[in-house]
A and B are shown apart, each in its own frame.
Chain A
């Protein structure tokens, strides 16, 4: 099994629908992140969480919300999806106290909003 698992892997939805992307990890890492990848723009940080009670906005949090249900689970919600949220979404983890802060990524969730 993958260290960081994202579900669903692919989702097509319509404008205005609520969507949840889920992420679970078996790394035992404290820190979890949600990134968005768009062609030509690189990865951009949506939200990050350093533990269950510590959730922070990243550079592009508008239109998104998150929930850290447990140390191992971090979900991303789009309350009312819009077409410009069509993108590849990645969950990542890293270990607190590790000076290198190496990121471990999930396989990605491709979201298409029609």
Chain B
């Protein structure tokens, strides 16, 4: 079983839609949960991270962590064509252990 599972997509939505991106994981020791956005031919860009369970909001983006289900989500409200990118989830824990990344979900937002 992979440590982190992420649906590769592609996911295609119309402009203005609410987008839900998800990852599941198997290691209950993970404490930090990150979302990165990667545009074509660019490096990943950190969008936001959360510690432990709960929600975190930043503008149109909301990250949600459910540790009991080992499930994390990123919601994008009022999606824009500029949100078209690959979204990577990632997880880590204290102690210098390596960060584990999902394979990424490709998102297309159509104008």
Query: Are A and B subunits of one complex?
Result: no
A interface vs B, CB < 8 Å?
none
